[in-house]
């Protein structure tokens, strides 16, 4: 029963935070900076899946501040996905 509740919380949280995915730049007034880069790096898998079904979603923000956004994006990608391989326990 706890798994179903946890799954429901995770899915609802993903739907709510899905509104913060990078778009095509038409509604963006200020360029995305470092912290938006970190956020977009963390939710990159969600952005990728949404982008498969809708052309207005992007994995990477089009309107950004340059290398500062890139730094935040890649820090989040490496820490989020590279950290999985480091913490995995070997069997044997």
| Average pLDDT in the chain | 80
Which long-range contacts (C-beta less than 8 Å, at least 24 apart) are formed by 15-18? 17/43, 17/46, 18/43, 18/46, 18/50
Phi, psi for residue 81 in degrees, rounded to 5:
-100, -30
| pLDDT value of residue 67 | 92
State the average pLDDT over residues 29-45.
Answer: 86
Check residues 2 and 26 and name the one with the higher pLDDT.
2
Closest CA to 60 of 40, 80, 84: 40
Give yes or no for a contact between 47 and 58, defined as CB atoms under 8 angstroms apart. Answer: yes
Q: What is the pLDDT of residue 81?
A: 64
Q: From CA 76, how far away is CA 78, in angstroms rounded? A: 6
pLDDT per residue as tens digits for the range 46-64: 888 888 888 888 888 888 8
User: Taking Cα atoms as reference points, which of 79, 84, 66 lies closest to residue 38?
Assistant: 79
- Cα 22 from chain centroid (whole Å): 9
pLDDT at 72: 92
- pLDDT confidence of residue 10: 83
């Amino acid at each position: 029963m706890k798994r179903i509740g946890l799954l429901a919380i995770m899915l609802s949280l993903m739907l709510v935070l899905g509104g913060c995915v990078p778009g095509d730049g038409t509604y963006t007034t200020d360029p995305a900076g470092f912290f938006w880069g970190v956020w977009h790096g963390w939710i990159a898998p969600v952005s990728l899946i949404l982008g498969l079904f809708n052309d207005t979603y992007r994995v990477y923000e089009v309107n950004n501040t340059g290398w500062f956004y890139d730094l935040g994006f890649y820090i989040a990608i490496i820490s989020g996905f590279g950290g999985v391989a480091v913490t995995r326990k070997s069997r044997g």
